[in-house]
Amino acid sequence: MSTAVDRRVPPQRLINAINPVVRGLLRSPLHGLLDRSVLVLHLRGRKTGRRYDIPVSYIDFDGRLMVTTQHRWRINARGRTDIEVTHRGRRRTMRASLDEDCRSVATNLHRVIERIGWKAARRQLGLQITVGRTPTVAELETAVREFDLATLTLSES
């Protein structure tokens, strides 16, 4: 168990109840209320072809949007280079890169935390930093393994 980093995710039932409201807000003229922190990924199931509209938190890092997730929806992003997103009230295609390599994910998270600060990482990345400093890459790698974290990076096509 990681002692430097913890992860708290709301119960799935709560997420399922709130997601329709968030999707509605992001499609409405009120989207500005959430634009700085939430976007919607539009994915198709790899096997079923079913359409999924998934609200996710993101951080803008060097002009790219980075999503940190432990959820299984990410398998539908594997091998895809383009993903449709609704961001800032506009639906568009963005270049996508899914990273599930523990060391690479930890290194990228470390860079982001160094830039935004460990306190901001609590809210923006959903990581609870318990050591009062930026965790080392090794500590983050332990957390990435423990919580099965991946990052999805989106950039302009």
- Measured at the CA of 27, the angle between CA 7 and CA 121, to 5 degrees, comes to 20
Whether the pLDDT of residue 9 is over 90: the answer is no
Summarize pLDDT for 73-119 with one digit per residue, the tens: 999 999 888 999 999 888 999 999 999 999 999 999 999 999 999 98
Q: Which two tokens stand for residue 105?
A: 């994910």
- CA nearest 56: which of 46, 68, 64? 68
pLDDT of residue 123: 78
Q: Name the residue type at position 68.
A: T
7 vs 85: CA distance, rounded Å: 25
pLDDT at 1 over 60: no
| pLDDT for position 154 | 97
Helix, strand, coil share (%) of the chain residues, nearest 5: 40, 35, 30
Q: Give the global pTM.
A: 0.87
CA 150 vs CA 33, 70, 85, 145: distances in Å:
26, 6, 18, 9
Domains and CATH numbers, the chain: 5-156 (2.30.110.10)
In this prediction, residue 67 carries a pLDDT of 95
**In this model, does residue 8 exceed pLDDT 80?**
no
